[in-house]
Amino acid sequence: MSTQTKTPLVPFDEALTRYEPVMGLEVHVELGTNTKMFCGCATEFGAEPNTQVCPVCLGLPGALPVVNAKAVESAIRIGLALNCEIAEWCRFARKNYFYPDQPKNFQTSQYDEPIAFDGYTDVEVDGEVYRIEIERAHMEEDTGKSLHVGGATGRIHGADHSLLDYNRAGIPLIEIVTRTIEVPGDKAPLVARAYVNQLRDLMVALGVSDARMDQGSLRADVNLSLRPAGTTALGTRSETKNVNSFRSVERAVRYEVGRHAGILDAGQKVVQETRHFHESDGTTSPGREKSDAEDYRYFPEPDLAPVAPSRAWVEELRGTLPEPPSERRKRLQAEWDFSDLDMRDTIGAGALELVAATVAAGAAPQAARKWWLGELARRSNDTGVDLADLPITPEQVAGIQALIDAGRLNDKLARDVFDGVLAGEGTPEEVVASRGLELVSDDGALGEAVDQAIAANPDVADKIRDGKVQAAGALIGAVMKQMRGQADAGRVRELILERLS
């Protein structure tokens, strides 16, 4: 545990007047293969504990691993999509450490021979492009999960006992490690967020992972250090682990900048340690201190043959890559006829792929943008859940827009439909039906309400009869009130004018 005294948090903007942040991001992507990295067990999320296990992933005596070829293929495609070199020959290594959720007490990983290395990807923030250099992308297996029971926090301290679930043990992971990221300090949190967001979009486009941060199939570790402005030597870094939303990536960077600045201002030294990020208040707290005693004793995994992808195979896989992100952004902007500002906002909100999917499902681009950047962004902010993780699909958003386009909903009713879908009440059609949200355009029901409104507002009716058509608004308002907003306003207007002309 950290022994340093608590120093005050320096406001982010103030910190940047004296220090420059240097970041490094390590992102783990859980591959969506049907089977695990080294055995034939299923990988389905949420299964009963310890039902997707076998001698290999339980580390039983005598069991041996066999590499999942599909995982290697995914790793190569990820590497290529990140403009990496693909190793002609590489090995797995054993990372040795004891922990109960690790069945063999070593993790089969890659160490100094990653499958992919020396790449980059360009992310865009506020219209500026930043190149993120990729040091490596390597294959490894996930660990099991520990559940600590009986303590107040769900953490190991204070727990009575722990339960172990090995379903996740052996699920294929790709770890993508950046080189140090040095961007203008004020952009750092957004660049970090945009990078993780872009990785997610890439994984989905590649079809290699569902890349859901909320389910842990995409996990980001944020390494950050500060150095005095204008200097070049790197400071001591902290490693904030398992930050599980795009928004939290941004917040973690902001928080750590302020925390480091406070420590450095006080003349103290930053402790190299791992830290946990807390969604509730956006702070971090110390986890394990990384001491020099942590020695993983890596050595080449003797139970696995080296991986030597042929150049022909690599080129074949290169042919299966999706469009690169920067080209995709340009093409979509042109297709959608978005202004630079529209595009910047869409990317900034992390909504590019959501809008694209909504458009693909039939919505007009501006309508898709309006919902994701308006109504849904607001709900994302209110709940702290990333847009992509909101319980609504682009297809559903397009469905709601189609109901509006068909005149069956107006924007106000549509918001109620969003409420229903987000609350898990079913598809837009189901919500419309169960909540009775459809617009009334039936002349019988509307005519009756119009007649009542005319009778209740004789002076307004007279003005309209005198040719002041704009006064119809007051009557329309009265009808809408009567119909609890579910009247087709255009039809109401027509009916009023018919009766009073």
Partner 1 sequence: MTTRLHAADLAAQLADGSVTSVEATQAQLDRIAAVDGDLNAFLHVDAEGALATAADVDARRAAGETLPTLAGVPIAVKDLINTAGQPTTAGSKILEGWVPPYDATVVGRLRAAGLPILGKTNLDEFAMGSSNEHSAYGPARNPWDTSRIPGGSSGGSAAAVAAFEAPLALGTDTGGSIRQPGAMTGIVGVKPTYGGVSRYGVIAMASSLDQVGPMARSVLDAALLHEVVAGHDPRDSTSIDAPVPSVVEAARRGDVAGLRIGVVREFAGEGFQPGVQRRFDEAVAKLADAGAEIVEVSCPSFTHGIAAYYLVMPSEVSSNLARFDAMRYGLRVSPEGNPSPSAEQVMAATRDAGLGDEVKRRIILGTYALSSGYYDAYYGSAQKVRTLIAQDFNTAFAQVDVLFSPTAPTTAWRLGEKSDDPLAMYLEDVCTIPANLAGVPGISVPIGLADDSGLPVGGQFLAPAQADDRLYNAGAALERLVPAPVLEEVVR
Residues at the contact surface with partner 1, assessed by CB under 8 A: 55, 58-67, 94, 96, 98, 100, 103-106, 162, 164, 295, 297-299, 302-305
Residue 302 CB, shortest distance to partner 1, in Å, is 4
How far is Cα 112 from Cα 390, in angstroms, rounded to an integer?
39
Identify which of residues 102 and 486 has a Cβ nearer to partner 1 in the complex: 102
Close Cβ partners of 426 (under 8 Å, ≥ 6 residues apart): 420, 434
Residue 296 CB, shortest distance to partner 1, in Å, is 8
Residue 41 CB, shortest distance to partner 1, in Å, is 14
Structure tokens at 164: 């172990």
User: 238-243 and 273-278: which strand pairing?
Assistant: parallel
Residue 154 CB, shortest distance to partner 1, in Å, is 16
The dihedrals phi and psi of 74, each to the nearest 5 degrees, come to -60, -40
Identify which of residues 95 and 200 has a Cβ nearer to partner 1 in the complex: 95
Structure tokens at 306: 């080296």
Q: Are the beta carbons of 193 and 350 closer than 8 angstroms? A: yes
Residue 64 CB, shortest distance to partner 1, in Å, is 5
Identify which of residues 12 and 166 has a Cβ nearer to partner 1 in the complex: 166
Identify which of residues 158 and 384 has a Cβ nearer to partner 1 in the complex: 158
Residue 82 DSSP label = T
Identify which of residues 250 and 301 has a Cβ nearer to partner 1 in the complex: 301
Cβ burial of 119 (10 Å; 0-12, 13-18, 19+) is buried
Residue 237 CB, shortest distance to partner 1, in Å, is 19
Identify which of residues 39 and 252 has a Cβ nearer to partner 1 in the complex: 39
Residue 89 CB, shortest distance to partner 1, in Å, is 15
Residue 69 CB, shortest distance to partner 1, in Å, is 12
Identify which of residues 57 and 475 has a Cβ nearer to partner 1 in the complex: 57
Count of other CB atoms within 10 angstroms of residue 116: 28
Residue for token pair 């027509």: 494
Residue 266 CB, shortest distance to partner 1, in Å, is 33
How far is Cα 126 from Cα 347, in angstroms, rounded to an integer?
8
Residue 113 CB, shortest distance to partner 1, in Å, is 14
Comparing CA positions, the residue from 118, 73, 83, 86 lying closest to residue 327 is 83
H or E element at residue 376? helix 375-383
Count of other CB atoms within 10 angstroms of residue 360: 12
How far is Cα 161 from Cα 471, in angstroms, rounded to an integer?
73
Identify which of residues 58 and 489 has a Cβ nearer to partner 1 in the complex: 58
How far is Cα 197 from Cα 25, in angstroms, rounded to an integer?
12
Residue 100 CB, shortest distance to partner 1, in Å, is 5
H or E element at residue 174? strand 172-178
Cβ burial of 50 (10 Å; 0-12, 13-18, 19+) is middle
Residue for token pair 């070199």: 85
Residue 155 CB, shortest distance to partner 1, in Å, is 13
Would you call 232 helix, strand, or coil by DSSP? coil
Identify which of residues 51 and 105 has a Cβ nearer to partner 1 in the complex: 105
Structure tokens at 35: 């089977």
Q: Are the beta carbons of 414 and 367 closer than 8 angstroms? A: no
How far is Cα 223 from Cα 236, in angstroms, rounded to an integer?
10
Identify which of residues 61 and 230 has a Cβ nearer to partner 1 in the complex: 61
Please list the residues that pair with 365 across neighbouring strands: none
Identify which of residues 172 and 258 has a Cβ nearer to partner 1 in the complex: 172
Cβ burial of 152 (10 Å; 0-12, 13-18, 19+) is exposed
Identify which of residues 95 and 491 has a Cβ nearer to partner 1 in the complex: 95
